[in-house]
Structure 1
């Protein structure tokens, strides 16, 4: 009887332990000590990262994305020629290569999928293009169905990120200082708005976050060190706010990188490469404006990408040049960050829960 009780107790312990841990995949640059995509265990209760392991060897997987059912991972290969690959997630969390297709442009730097998991969009930084792909049920990528080229005699494009929202796609072009809006029509995406905001400055829109209802979009500007807040209206789009991500006393060079909304959409976080910080903003849900409330040092160098964990209680930062991942707790009442600890990881540039 005692043996049976001990067995049941141990089984319960392991069930609780496994439920408390989730997988974190890490995209990297492989021109240093990294070999590809890595995985770690993240403790949802303590915020602890452990068990760093190579999930699959692949070249420069600088941005990675899940399928909605979390059976597959997709990665751009930011290398000569440019490609995007599909991987199946095995039971042990390691990745199995499925197939690879051209990214249709040099320097692919971002990939995202729609909610149905049957389409992907890839942004090509050096190529100045974005490509749309259909995805098979087995997770494999087909060749691109549409390619948008933005280079012209007047402008050098650097497409940097794209997101699906319902039947639309938004694409941020850091080179031409635009965020394009496309709408699905007859199974193809057609340009609906040349840019959802207008500027005469060289802001360099890089990444953006869209509220769940699609009413507000927040664009982080790499060159401008700022966030542009945009409201969707019946007649188009309207800029409602513009805020610096930097401390007034900061005098060095800075390149903004990533931006995320909190789970409750009350706070916005943006990363500064140079100041090496996360800028924290409180968001007004009624008019979409934001107010800076904290500048948190990242305890590392060059925070290219960061993410919030599935519980919304932690924020993790990938510090590219210092080869570490920093973990912060998020105060539920204020949205502010507190540094907890960091772990070493080879050239981390993308974090995926």
Structure 2
């Protein structure tokens, strides 16, 4: 009886320990030491990253995304003749290749899925296009159902990211200085707003974050080192704020990259490549405006993308050039960051929980 109880106690302890960890996948560029998509174990209590493994060998998976049920993973291949691939997640986190299709443009740099998990959208930076795909029940991608080409005779498009929201689709175009809004009608996405904000400058909208109710949209601008804050109204869209991501004293080159809201939507984070920092903003949940409260060095070079862990207690940064991932704790009361530690990773570009 004592042996049985000891065994049950050991088993229970083992379950507690393993329950502290969650997988984190890493999209990379494979022009160096990287071979494809990697996986870490992340400790939700301590913020430690351990057990680095190659999940699957694949070329330049620079951006990756889950299906809503986390049974499948999708990755762009930012290589000549761009593609988007689907993978099935195996029992121990390894990935099994399912299929791949054309991204319909060079330099695919972003992929996202709708909440139902039956549609994906890919943005092609060099091709200046975006493509929508229907996803089968087995996780495989069908050929593109719609392709939007944004290049004109006098301007060069650089579509950089896209997100579904209910029956809407938003696409950020860095080259055209626009964020397009589409609406789903008869299973086809139709353009309803050529751009949700207007500018005569060249900010270069790259990524954006939406509040859970879709009322506010925060756009990080790669070229101007700024965030444009937009409020969605019944009559259209209104710009409510425009804030610098850089310190006033910084004079070097910079290219903003990624942007995320905290889980409680009280704080907003943006990455600066050049200043090599995360800009932290406090958000007014009533009027949607933001105020910068911290500039946190990333302890690395060229913070491409970053993410918040499932608990909302940690922020992790992929430093592309220095080939490391930095982990920060998030102070619940203030949203501010504290550096914890860093681990080496081969050419990290995108982090996925």
Range of TM-score over shorter length = over 0.9
Match in the other structure for 1:223: 223
Deviation at 1:243, TM superposition (A): 0.1
**Structure 1 partner of 2:287:** 287
Q: Distance in 2 between matches of 1:57 and 1:257?
A: 25
Q: Which residue of 1 aligns with 2:307?
A: 307
The separation in 1 between residues aligned to 2:308 and 2:6, in whole angstroms, is 37
Give the Cα separation in 2 of the matches to 1:76 and 1:321: 20
Deviation string 1:328-350 (CA, Å, 9 cap, x unpaired) is: 00000000000000100000000
Residue 154 of structure 1 and its aligned partner are, at CA, apart by 1.7
Query: How far does the alpha carbon of each residue in 1:212-232 deviate from its partner, in whole angstroms, 9 at most, with x for none?
Result: 010000000000100000000
Residues 1-353 of structure 1 correspond to what in structure 2 (within 5 A)?
1-353=1-353
Could you tell me how far apart the structure 2 residues matched to 1:79 and 1:301 are?
A: 23
Q: In 2, Cα distance between the equivalents of 1:5 and 1:224?
A: 63
Runs (4+) of structure 1 exceeding 2 A deviation are: none
SS in 2 for 1:142: strand
Q: CA deviation at 1:5?
A: 1.9
CA distance in 2: counterparts of 1:155 and 1:233, whole angstroms: 30
Tell me how far apart the structure 1 counterparts of residues 168 and 154 of structure 2 sit (CA, whole Å). Answer: 27
> How many angstroms apart in 2 are the aligned matches of 1:13 and 1:37?
31
Q: Deviations over 1:150-174 (max 9, x none)?
A: 0001210000000000000000000
User: How many residues align structurally?
Assistant: 353
Segments of 5+ residues of structure 1 without an aligned counterpart are none
Quote the Cα distance in structure 1 between the aligned partners of 2:313 and 2:233. Answer: 32
**1:90 shift after superposition:** 0.2
Distance (whole Å) between structure 2 residues aligned to residue 215 and residue 18 of structure 1:
38
Distance (whole Å) between structure 1 residues aligned to residue 229 and residue 285 of structure 2? 12
Quote the offset at 1:131 in angstroms.
0.1
The Cα shift of 1:6 comes to: 1.6
Secondary structure at 1:131's aligned position in 2?
Answer: strand
Q: Distance in 2 between matches of 1:300 and 1:11?
A: 40
DSSP-derived class of the 1:143 partner: strand
* Deviation for aligned residue 1:3: 1.4
1:56: how far off?
A: 0.1
Calculate the TM-score normalised by the size of structure 1: 1.00
> Cα RMSD (Å) of the superposition?
0.4
TM-score by length of 2: 1.00
Query: d(CA) in 2 for partners of 1:118 and 1:185?
Result: 16
- Partner Cα separation in structure 2 for residue 203 and residue 153 of structure 1: 21
How far apart are the structure 2 equivalents of 1:259 and 1:266? 14
What is the rounded CA distance, in whole Å, between the counterparts of 1:46 and 1:212 in structure 2?
Answer: 28
CA distance in 1, matches of 2:289, 2:305: 24
CA shift, 1:9, in A, is 1.3
| Shift, 1:53, TM fit | 0.2
Shift of 1:2: 2.4
